[in-house]
Chain A
Amino acid sequence: MLEITNLNKTFFPGTVNERKALREIDLTLAEGDFVTVIGSNGAGKSTVLNMVAGKLYPDSGNVRIDGQDVTKLADFKRAKYLGRVFQDPMAGTAPSMTIEENLALALGRGKVRALALGVTNRKRELFVEELASLELGLEKRLKTKVGLLSGGQRQALSLLMATLTGPKILLLDEHTAALDPQRAALVTRLTREIVERHRLTTLMVTHNMEQALALGTRLIMMHDGQIILDLSQAEKEKMTVKGLLGEFEKIKGAQLDDRTMLQ
């Protein structure tokens, strides 16, 4: 479903600020894979997601979605395949538009937007049904401006909007990180339910190791622009947070040794 091959990205090449964000990343997701991604700050997790989404373009390497090479396709053109939820709860919705208008925008993904009325009664029925599944009572507030919702509500709505049309791939970048623990738990639960319901192929970045172990069918760990650990579902089920930290130290140490030896 998603094929990332030999992806490289260096920011500010040839300057003192040169930063190799990605080094020869290879990653393939089969249909229905739900991969959680962990790693230190600056490991390149967001950069991978941004390249899948078309926010950044790689120096070399390819991104294929469902067999189609999208490496150079503009973000809005490949948006028909991709649902995204960002870390900032403000980022995924239009604040001065109502809940139903936001959902109508999301429903228009991959369709030609013309002069038909954006919100119709038929769409409203669908919105009510979908919103009810969030169990936040938002289905009674269709005409509320989204800017008036709390961060947790907005993030839940963002998740619903991102998945409303059943995208081929769902990209989540620390989408629970800005929420208080209670709301984070809610959005985590919704994520699990929605991904299962639509059987979405998902790439989820999180800095919460417990969440990374609890969710998904596969886990990868990144460090310094590389994937340093790739656990299958069976391996992941046996893994603990402590075990992950141990792996991380081990691999990081080994890498450092390599570098030192090269010098």
Chain B
Amino acid sequence: MITAVELGLIYAIMALGVYLTFRILDFPDLTVDGSFTTGAATASILIVNGTNPLVATVCAFFAGAAAGVITGLLHTKGNIDGLLAGILTMIGLYSINLRIMGKANVPLLGEDTLMSPLRANGWLGSWVSVALLLLLCLVAVAVIVWFLHTDVGMAMRSTGDNPEMIRSFGVSTDNQKILGLALSNGLVAFSGALIAQFQGYADIGMGIGIILIGLASVIVGQAIFSQRYIWLAAIAVVFGAVIYRLVIQFALGAGLEVNDMKLISAVLVVLALVLPQVGVFRKLAARIQITSRGTAKADAPEEEEKQNA
């Protein structure tokens, strides 16, 4: 139970990255399946080679950010569809991740990681580590919320909201997308680095399906929290990630196996997407979600049309 909450809080950082692309930039980025592993691989190999684990984890962030930049460049400069650009980077990263790790699995047993102090004090699996990880998440939320209210952060939000309009105010929407993808995948890789240190190894397959976990977290959080304010939406993502983990834990407890987890993820996302369209749930969802597009009237200019030259 507590382990599920711990995992949820670490995955929440990844989910915040997914929130940045899917919700803020309105960009369906699939790079994350690759960049999550990139983060884990980068941090693990650095740690194994004696790098300070904090430095290694920060490096993981930048490795993920670089992956995001690639997707951004493919999409904006290469005019490749967003989904495809993400898939291309994700597939390419598989080989790169193998190159980074040198093999399919890098164990971190006995290495000095960010989790070592927790482990040494017996805090892992206790509420102390939950509190510490929650603090980490709240710091991440605070930084993201602050960023989204700066001049450049607001330009990023408007890039997702109305790109034509913000271009007319001098913002390069291409650059905003690249920056957003970099930040997003940086967070995802950071989360991957922490997961590797938490579970004690990096594995080439650990990123598969990560995008679904991120999406599930964002959607579940959105279903229970108002999206009225950015800070609320961001906290909702963190809660969504934890709830997702608890649901998985519950499913495992009910007799499903670890190998069924991907299917559970997929089913959960499908449910979260479909349920709001069904009768009772729709009413509930309508109450919870505020529609961003107003109902401004666009009257047909029939009268004036007649005066046309």
Contacts and interface: CB of A to CB of B under 8 A. Distances in A.
A130 interface: no
Interface string B152-167: 1111011001101111
Interface stretch (A64-72, A73-81, A134-142): A73-81
A181 B303 contact: yes
A240 interface: no
B169 A180 contact: no
B18 to A, nearest CB: 18
A218 to B, nearest CB: 17
Contacts of B155: 105, 108, 113
Contacts of B154: 97, 101, 104-105, 113, 118
Interface string A135-162: 0000000000111111101100000011
A93 interface: yes
Nearest to B168: A84
Interface in B251-308: 290-294, 296-299, 301, 303-305, 307-308
B171 interface: yes
A179 B173 CA distance: 29
Interface stretch (A4-12, A13-21, A36-44, A196-204): A36-44
Q: Please tell me the size bucket of the interface on B.
A: 35 or more
Contact of A149 (B167, B296, B303): B296
Contacts of B167: 75-76, 79
Contacts of A92: 165, 168
A105 B166 CA distance: 8
- With a 10 A CB-CB cut-off, give which of B164, B170, B291, B299 has the most chain A CB atoms: B170
Contacts of B126: none
B299 A179 contact: yes
A80 B304 contact: no
Nearest to A248: B309
Interface in B192-206: none
B172 interface: yes
A118 B150 contact: yes
A114 B151 contact: yes
B309 A97 contact: no
B149 interface: yes
A159 B308 CA distance: 24
B296 A89 contact: yes
Interface string B8-24: 00000000000000000
A95 B294 contact: yes
A114 B292 contact: no
A150 B162 CA distance: 17
Contact of A76 (B171, B294, B298, B309): B171
A186 to B, nearest CB: 13
A255 B128 CA distance: 85
A105 B299 contact: no
Interface string A24-54: 0000000000000011110000000000010
B178 to A, nearest CB: 14
B150 A207 contact: no
Given A89-B298, A96-B161, A96-B292, A41 B308 contact: yes
- With a 10 A CB-CB cut-off, give which of B161, B167, B296, B304 has the most chain A CB atoms: B296
A210 B308 CA distance: 11
A208 B304 contact: yes
A146 B173 contact: no
Nearest to A208: B304
A195 interface: no
B168 A94 contact: no
A80 B298 CA distance: 29
Contacts of A221: 309
A109 B168 CA distance: 9
A106 B171 CA distance: 10
B143 to A, nearest CB: 11
8 contacts: A76-B173, A80-B170, A108-B155, A109-B170, A110-B170, A150-B294, A151-B298, A207-B304
Interface of A: 38-41, 53, 74-77, 79-80, 82-84, 86, 88-97, 101, 104-106, 108-111, 113-119, 145-151, 153-154, 161-162, 177-181, 207-210, 221, 223, 241, 244-245, 248
Given A108-B155, A149-B296, A207-B309, 5 more contacts: A76-B168, A79-B169, A108-B169, A116-B150, A118-B149
Closest 7 CB pairs of A and B: A96-B292, A151-B296, A79-B170, A147-B294, A113-B151, A94-B161, A94-B158
